[in-house]
A and B are shown apart, each in its own frame.
Chain A
């Protein structure tokens, strides 16, 4: 297990970290028994309208990430909410905005397992909610099959596994994590299939970040696992959020040049 300095914003040529170690260190900061840190509760237009708990803490450090500074400095942001408090706030936001879909976003929601499971228990019983979108980087679901089995017991959950790269080298470069962890999200996909969970895969295949040959390699790897998963791939593009611009600059990518590049689809 890698130990060392808690990673903040990604800088080029920094020593890769073990995301499982970062997950544990982050949990020490953002989880407290069944409570988790959140910075806000609101609703947004994605997924046709969704109430969102903006939670704190991730185990990747992608230089193109849009989430707030709480990702890099989880000690400085957010307040602890029990699963029940989070549930009440998410449902309140859903009611206010007239939506029936909910999620936890801006973080890795699979951190603080007790909190997530308790929250899902309440969501599952609430007729006002039709869907819980669980957006994950797949690390903890890849390493822990039982966690996926537990999630499979909830009827309203739809998982979205977000892939960052098509090769171990590109994965390490973009996320800051060790190359060996590249395979974990693919293991998560296998586990989700095994337990018949509703899910789809998204990938940051923006051509300004990912060369076409890497994109094809990613699709090939998905097809090796399951054709339906590959055909149902959601391809993401990178947007110039304030935090993304700063993270790119810190990483050594000129955000002006990057975002002025024409998006040429392969």
Chain B
């Protein structure tokens, strides 16, 4: 799920909220962070990272993200 948010943020990270950018069929995977979906993707990532419950998951996702072919794009 967090990896997906990194990828969504590549498309639009600030001006649209995450819940406007996820397709209905994917919606379920975001159930655990329902209260954060109202924020743009980069803010969601940041809020997850400062949450002790989620920090480990974000770190794991970022390792995968940064080892992908084109991790940091415009």
Contacts and interface: CB of A to CB of B under 8 A. Distances in A.
A262 to B, nearest CB: 14
A265 to B, nearest CB: 5
Contacts of A67: none
Contacts of A219: 72
A265 B45 CA distance: 24
A230 B74 contact: no
Contacts of B17: 48
Interface in A102-126: none
A147 B40 CA distance: 26
Interface string A251-266: 0000000000000011
Interface string B1-21: 000001001000111110010
Contacts of A158: 43, 46-47
Interface residues of A, dominant DSSP: mixed
B29 interface: no
Interface residues of A, number: 25
Interface stretch (A57-65, A89-97, A197-205): A197-205
A102 to B, nearest CB: 14
Contacts of B39: 131
Max count, chain A CB within 10 A of own CB: residue among B17, B58, B59, B74 = B74
Given A45-B15, A48-B15, A200 B71 contact: no
A93 to B, nearest CB: 18
Given A45-B15, A131-B39, A196 B50 contact: yes
Interface of A: 45-48, 130-131, 158, 196-200, 205, 219, 223, 227-228, 230-235, 265-266
Given A232-B13, A233-B72, 18 more contacts: A45-B15, A46-B14, A47-B40, A48-B20, A48-B40, A131-B39, A158-B43, A198-B50, A199-B46, A200-B13, A200-B42, A205-B74, A219-B72, A227-B63, A228-B58, A228-B59, A232-B42, A266-B74
